[in-house]
Amino acid sequence: MDPYALVVEGFLAVLLVAFLYYAVMLNRRLGSLRDSKGELEKLINTFADATGRADRSINGFKSTAEQSGRALQETIDRAQGLRDDLAFLIEKADSVADRLEAAIRGSRGVAGGAAVQPQAGATPGSAQGAGDQQASARPEPARATGAASAAPAAGGDARVQSKAERELLKALQSMR
């Protein structure tokens, strides 16, 4: 045999052994990749499940937020309606209070200018005498109301004013 052929065959044998070694290493790595593929699939499935749960939770949050928003808007709408009603009632109450105040001032002027005298023949126990007693008693609550209503104008609190308004209403009802 030729010495060159022997060297070439020896070189080919070394290359073949090196190829076999790398083939075995590649086979091990491909095996670990196949094993990792199963784990990767499990990981992807777990991730998909978590994503689905998160999506359902987000949809639940959205629906809850929409329901709460609608309920809140309904409450706001009712509150605005009540606010408008209260504003209307306050305006009406102010105009009624102004008219009542004018009526009281007018009745004070009449009661203060002309003293109410019992009619001849009227007895204190008769219906006419009782009406006269009520008429003479009317200016006093009006004066008390006037004194009480002057206090809030001078810096009193709202309770005094509302009490004065109640007294004023009682006085006006007793005049009927």
| Domain positions in the chain | 122-176
100-107: long-range pairs with CB below 8 Å, 24+: 100/168, 100/169, 100/172, 101/149, 101/168, 103/172, 104/142, 104/145, 104/146, 104/168, 104/171, 104/172, 107/138, 107/139, 107/142, 107/175
User: For residues 110 and 102, what is the distance between their CA atoms, to the nearest angstrom?
Assistant: 12
Q: What is the pLDDT of residue 123?
A: 43
Q: What is the pLDDT of residue 176?
A: 65
Q: Looking at residues 144-168, what average pLDDT do you find?
A: 53
pLDDT per position as a tens digit, 16-56: 999 999 999 999 999 888 888 888 889 999 999 999 999 99
Q: State if pTM tops 0.75.
A: no
